Structure 1
Amino acid sequence: MTDVTARHGSRRREQTRARLLDAAHEVFGDVGMDAASVEMICERAGFTRGAFYSNFESKDELFLALITQLAEEKLDAVAGRVRELAPDALSDMSALVHQVVGASLGDRVEPQLISEIRTQAMRDPRLAEAYLTWQNVLRDRVEGIIQQVVSTYGLRLRLPIDDAAQLLLDVSDDTCARATLEGRPTEEITTLLNARIERLVMVLVEAPA
């Protein structure tokens, strides 16, 4: 197999995987995770079951890959805003916090999806291991973002950075899970989540001398 053929095959596999993820996201939005079937996802993507199982071992693995992708997109956006912070952003701590964390969950992020994956993980040890690994990766990304803000502005936190990152994730998970149980729409969950994260960050950061 030539390098050109290998690259073409790799791109085609990436495209197939991306279409399956997009289709899963659409199907989830229509019927929810439990009702979503491999057949429905394949039909929406225009692929056979063979194409599905050449990319994912199961529906659960597909949905875990989906929330990984969505979370990475969100964190990439946050990291981008951190890199673009103005030098005088620290003059208004509230505005700084809002600029860093105050972004919409977006059209592609449903708290219900993450909650359903977590529920499935509680019943499936293999999925639980994968879910915890994903959570650890998220925490590392959040730690890096916090570290960059702290270093750039010489901030002091009331907790070690790793504890602060875990607390932010725990509050986010709890807020989304409870709001989902209460039947709140995504837009309302976004507003509630941002408000709680902003308040928490204000508590975590020591006031400048």
Structure 2
Amino acid sequence: MNTDELSPRRRQTRSTLVQAGTSVFAVRGIDGASIEEICEAGGLTRGAFYSNFSSRDDLVLAIIEMRISENLDRLDATIQRWSEQLMATAEVPEIKALMTQFIDDVFNEKKQTVAETITEQEIELYCLRVPHLHARYVELNATQLDRLAALVTTALDVAGATTKQPLGDFLTVIISVFNRIALTAAAGKKMDEHVDIDPSLIVEVLMHLIDFCPDAEV
């Protein structure tokens, strides 16, 4: 669904249901969550739910789409802000310190909650078990990776750097490391708490995977 064509009130209702679904899925799992529980968590009626989503699986897809869009929009804004800052300064920053500041800025643009972290993993596993959802999940994931690749390419160009391996492989490694760190950081916390992610491990991985002097002679 193209949410740009919806009224502000209906967009808010969909957003509320997405947030409610995220919180319920994190606790109950998708298979264990009922429409009634999701509506109760969002303070809405079944009528409001079915006016926006045809089923629980439709809500799952909406959560994926909204998360992808919001995360990539924030990353885009962060890269643009950093690009402008780097082009405005004549100083050559120390690479590792620069990477740490950048990754920390990305993580802190909007810290995800424990519920969001768990639900992302729950959705991936659920889509693997449900064939008709898996095809759409793969499609959405491919769209995400295409846009993410474009954003990362922009960031690398600004830094005058390249990856040491194909960009797709690079993104797979970074996403996998991030997911593992996020799950570890979420352990033992309440569902509504924010996940504090230490950027140091991702920075170490990036330092090994990125060539910051691609034109330098060996």
Shorter chain as denominator, the TM-score bin is 0.7 to 0.9
Unaligned runs of 5+ in 1: 1-6
Equivalent residue in structure 2 for 1:44, among 26, 38, 41: 41
| Aligned 8 A contact 2:20 2:42 in 1 | yes
Q: Distance in 1 between matches of 2:81 and 2:175?
A: 23
| Aligned 8 A contact 1:20 1:42 in 2 | yes
Q: Does 1:141 align with 2:147?
A: yes
- Cα deviation for residue 69 of structure 1 reads 2.1
Unaligned runs of 5+ in 2: none
Equivalent residue in structure 2 for 1:61, among 58, 63, 67: 58
Structure with the larger RCO, 1 or 2 (CA within 8 Å, 6+ apart): 2
The TM-score with structure 1 as length reference comes to: 0.77
| Aligned 8 A contact 1:79 1:145 in 2 | yes
1:97 to 1:184, Cα distance in 2 relative to 1, 3 A: farther
Q: Does 1:96 align with 2:98?
A: yes
Q: Distance in 2 between matches of 1:50 and 1:206?
A: 54
Instruction: Name the residue aligned to 2:67.
Output: 70
Instruction: Name the residue aligned to 1:4.
Output: none
| Aligned 8 A contact 2:127 2:133 in 1 | yes
- Cα deviation for residue 90 of structure 1 reads 5.6
The TM-score with structure 2 as length reference comes to: 0.74
Q: Distance in 2 between matches of 1:115 and 1:43?
A: 23
Q: Distance in 2 between matches of 1:173 and 1:61?
A: 24
One-letter amino acid matched to 1:126: H
| Aligned 8 A contact 1:78 1:101 in 2 | no
- Cα deviation for residue 169 of structure 1 reads 2.1
Q: Does 1:198 align with 2:203?
A: yes
- After superposition, give the CA deviation of every residue in 1:50-79 in whole Å (9 maximum; x if it has no partner): 331232232233133224323433332222
